[in-house]
Amino acid sequence: MRRPARLTSQLLAARAAYVLRGNDLGTMTSAAPRLYPHMWSWDAAFVAVGLARLSVPRAVLELDTLLGAQWGNGMVPHIVFAPGESGYFPGPERWGCHLGVPHAPPFPATSGICQPPVHAVAVQRIVEAARRQGRSDREAAGDLLDRAWRPLVAWHRWLATARDPQERGRVVLHHGWESGMDNSPRWDEPYARVVVGDLPPYERRDTRVVTDASMRPSDREYDRYLWLIEEMRRVRYDDRLVHETVSFAVEDVLVSALLAVACDVLADLGEERQQSAADVADLRSWAQRFRRGVVESVDPVTGLARDRDVRTGRWLATPTVAGFAPLLCGGLSRADEARLLAVLDSEQWCGHPGLLAQVPPSTSPAAPGFRPREYWRGPQWPVVAWLFHWAFARRGWAERAAVLREEGLRLVGAGDFAEYYDPLSGEPLGSMQQSWTAAAVLDWLC
């Protein structure tokens, strides 16, 4: 497939703004109008980053809406369902969280699992954007931080307690969807052990929108996804029972690294606004614990971080982009960090000669299971490039951050704002007009 010509920066930014405004539902932004018509948790954080380049108050509203659906135990749910929108499966009825589940809000309806904790990063970016604007925007951003402080601390506390009960420093997930990387080969081994029981009948809707089966998870994979929901629903999403009984339980190094970073970012913001010293101390302690847990997961042979299957105790060493988690949160020795950066630059990853853009693919092109068109099993995701760009800039690696920005813009330069891209041909894949792709572009360009 021949890629269209790259747009000028001005036109690309204008089209990105058009996507976000077109996907605006009023108080939330749909992740993508046809395939994902609701609000997704980590999508909303990235969307807020992009919206802050257009309107600080609108970015503030995005996070207010998400945090308004927070559970009583502190969990921020991975989906907040838009009222009256039924074009998605599994919808509210399948989750059943609004039907008297403890801690879940009766309205709006939500899912019963979480996603990566990148929301403090969004608050930081909103505050930074507001400082370049007028007084009213600066006040709006400051008020957001004051208003969101307790919910965000509660969210991090829930992850640090309910999802790390043994204090290993790695967040335990009970569904691949919680990682944000739904069908990543990271999860093949733990998913293979999920025995599907009496699953209620269902009809997929994602394959009506994305009709090319090579881009989407298989029906067999979907059976397992839905069975895990059944297991959690049958114990009413009780944190202790979920941890004890649900078939899937994996320590996720990428989510753990993001939690470590988010805790530090939130602590920095809290100190600036003179928030509770006790909360700030807790955040610093959690950041240290999860940074240590990520570092302890590093494979001494490959240098990549590894997930761990809680049910078997086995390390999961599949070469995916999650292996670079220590580069997000830090903690490695200087020599080990240099080694991991060299792996990132190597022909197994960003230096692969077949890549159209030098950004991390979701799975190593050198891996036997690399599938360049299938969701998280090979494609490049602009939002992942943005995340590493942001983290590298935060860590003072200006040159590396600049390269990721330029290569990320090369990937999306035609202005299609796809969900993900074939790393070899650059073909846009998945849903089009994806909100977080547009948001990443806006933050890069504005």
Asked whether the beta carbons of 434 and 20 are under 8 A apart, the reply is no
Which whole-number Å values give the CA distances from 269 to 85, 124, 127, 148, 186, in the listed order? Answer: 36, 7, 9, 11, 33
DSSP calls for 54-96 = T-HHHHHHHHHHHHTT--TTS---SEEPPTT---SSS-HHHH-
Given the residues 24, 182, 238, 345, select the one marked as catalytic.
182
Dist CA 67 CA 151 (whole Å): 7
Respond yes or no: is residue 182 known to be catalytic.
yes
- Decide: helix, strand or coil at residue 371: coil
Under a CB-based contact definition with an 8 Å cutoff, are residues 386 and 46 in contact? yes
Cα atoms in the 13 Å half-sphere on the side-chain side of 427:
13
DSSP letter, residue 36: B
| Three-class secondary structure assignment of 331-363 | CCCHHHHHHHHHHHHCCCCCCCCCCCCCCCECE
Distance of CA 108 to the CA centre of its chain: 21
What whole-number distance in Å separates Cα of residue 319 and Cα of residue 34?
Answer: 32
Distance CA 366, CA 387 (A): 23
Q: Tell me: cis bond preceding 108? Omega within 30 of 0 counts.
A: yes
- The active-site residue out of 221, 231, 419, 422 is 419
Contacts of residue 120, Cβ cutoff 8 Å, sequence gap at least 6: 152, 156, 262, 263, 265, 266, 269
Main-chain phi, psi angles of 274, to 5 degrees: 55, 45
Please say if 93 is a catalytic residue. no
Three-state SS at 316: strand
Packed helices 119-131 and 253-272: angle between N→C axes, nearest 10 degrees: 40
The rounded radius of gyration (Å) of the Cα atoms in the chain is 20
What are the residue numbers of the active site? Answer: 182, 419
